[in-house]
Copies of this chain bind each other. A is one copy, B any other.
Amino acid sequence: MDMDTLLVEPVGLEEVEGALARFFEESKLRAEKISQGYHGLWQTLEQCTAGGKRFRPRLVMSAYRMLGGTDVDNAAELGAAFELLHTALIVHDDVIDRDFVRRGIPNVSGRYRFIAERAGMDPAGARHVGFSAAVIAGDLALSNAHRLLERVEAPSGVRRRLSEILDEAVFASAAGEFLDIETSLDAAMPPLEDIVHMARLKTSVYSFEGPLQAGAVLAGGSEDVITRLGEFGRDAGIAYQIADDILGVFGNETRTGKTNWGDLREGKRTALMSFVSARPEWDSISALVGDPQMSAAEADYVRRILVNSGAKDYSAHLAADYARRARTHLESDAVPSALRAALDPVVSAVVDRVR
């Protein structure tokens, strides 16, 4: 499930687009003075941010506007900072996952692998050129997420807090990526508790909690509403990740934009796998899960076992349960009803997709 399909009222999105466009325009001008090739790297990075539906900026802007914020241009820089952080994380995540394509088109690694191959480099060397360019591009995006945040005008106490929120997003995402790698070294499937913990670190903090809390802090929201938005974001993010993992195995490839056997071949640690690994059915599929050569027929067999063992239903219920919990956190007088209404489609979308 692409996060882009989660609908949130688009307030100030044009301003976010403007902030991103200005940032890339300035950066490309600077890069052009250095070399044509470096300008090309910046263009590639810009293309990585295009086409998304700005899910994180939407959350920033929704929280900001509905908690009384009025300086949309200023908040848009904050939204743009979270979008650039997202770009940094996906560019480096693609290196870690050894992916050369995203949304059906070559990503940074894919583009520079192609350039290296065309220059006559051997396949392994060209792959590494692709990864290297992506490491550099992701670094630029990450560093500039901080730079865009610095453009936000706010009293020093608010600035410090926004910077802490961005830092927490980086710290948690890095932890989540790292735990993911560590967990994959262990042949055993991790307990559900660990799956939920990783989902929170990898997804909730930077995609839900951070943007919502940052928007609220900039708007001058109460401590109560900031806390509630954090709790909502945590549970909504976990619900989203569990649902996304179901779609990664059972989803319609045309709608999700990715293959539905990649996660199975990779042996991705999910709630589905954690559940089935504690059941007798596990013995019949444990050798297949994580096999990079898994055939389409074998993938179908694994899916059948995931359905028959109850793993799919269990995961769908778990996602719905976290979505329900997320909604509960907003049931407070501290949360304006307009904000509650704006965030409702986020959780509905999660549950509807895997129902």
11 A-B pairs besides A119-B185, A129-B185 with CB distance below 8 A are A27-B171, A34-B172, A34-B175, A34-B179, A35-B179, A41-B178, A95-B132, A95-B135, A96-B132, A132-B181, A138-B139
> Is A333 close to B, CB under 8 A?
no
> Is A140 close to B, CB under 8 A?
yes
Give the CA-CA distance A37 to B177 in the complex, in Å: 12
By a CB distance below 8 angstroms, the chain B residues around A186 are 119
- What is the interface size of chain A, counting residues whose CB is below 8 A from a CB of the partner? 50
Partner of A146, one of B95, B138, B146, B175: B146
Interface residues of A in 162-187 (CB under 8 A from B): 163, 167, 170-172, 174-175, 177-179, 181-182, 185-186
Sample of 30 A–B contacts (CB below 8 Å): A31-B175, A34-B172, A34-B175, A35-B175, A35-B182, A38-B175, A38-B178, A41-B178, A92-B136, A92-B139, A95-B131, A95-B132, A95-B135, A96-B136, A98-B128, A116-B185, A121-B185, A133-B181, A135-B135, A136-B174, A136-B178, A138-B139, A139-B139, A139-B170, A139-B174, A140-B174, A142-B143, A143-B143, A147-B163, A147-B167
Interface residues of A in 122-161 (CB under 8 A from B): 128-129, 131-133, 135-136, 138-140, 142-144, 146-147, 150, 160
> Is A30 close to B, CB under 8 A?
yes
Give the CA-CA distance A125 to B202 in the complex, in Å: 22
Interface residues of A in 256-284 (CB under 8 A from B): none
Give the B-binding residues of A (Cβ under 8 A): 27, 30-31, 34-35, 37-38, 41, 88, 92, 95-96, 98, 112, 115-116, 119, 121, 128-129, 131-133, 135-136, 138-140, 142-144, 146-147, 150, 160, 163, 167, 170-172, 174-175, 177-179, 181-182, 185-186, 201
- Shortest A123–chain B CB gap in Å is 13
B131 close to A131 (CB less than 8 A): yes
- Assuming A92-B139, A175-B38, A178-B136, is B115 touching A185 (CB within 8 A)? yes
- Shortest A155–chain B CB gap in Å is 11
Instruction: List the 6 closest pairs (A to B, CB-CB), nearest first.
Output: A146-B146, A119-B185, A96-B132, A143-B170, A37-B182, A34-B175
By a CB distance below 8 angstroms, the chain B residues around A179 are 34-35, 37-38
B34 close to A201 (CB less than 8 A): yes
Give the CA-CA distance A175 to B34 in the complex, in Å: 8
Give the CA-CA distance A177 to B27 in the complex, in Å: 17
Partner of A140, one of B41, B135, B163, B171: B171
Give the CA-CA distance A144 to B163 in the complex, in Å: 11
By a CB distance below 8 angstroms, the chain B residues around A201 are 34
- Shortest A235–chain B CB gap in Å is 18
Give the CA-CA distance A18 to B288 in the complex, in Å: 51
Least CB separation from A35: chain B residue: B179
By a CB distance below 8 angstroms, the chain B residues around A170 are 139-140, 143
- Shortest A242–chain B CB gap in Å is 20
Give the CA-CA distance A128 to B128 in the complex, in Å: 11
- Shortest A132–chain B CB gap in Å is 4
Least CB separation from A128: chain B residue: B98
Give the CA-CA distance A128 to B181 in the complex, in Å: 10
- Shortest A61–chain B CB gap in Å is 24
B116 close to A177 (CB less than 8 A): no
A150 close to B163 (CB less than 8 A): yes
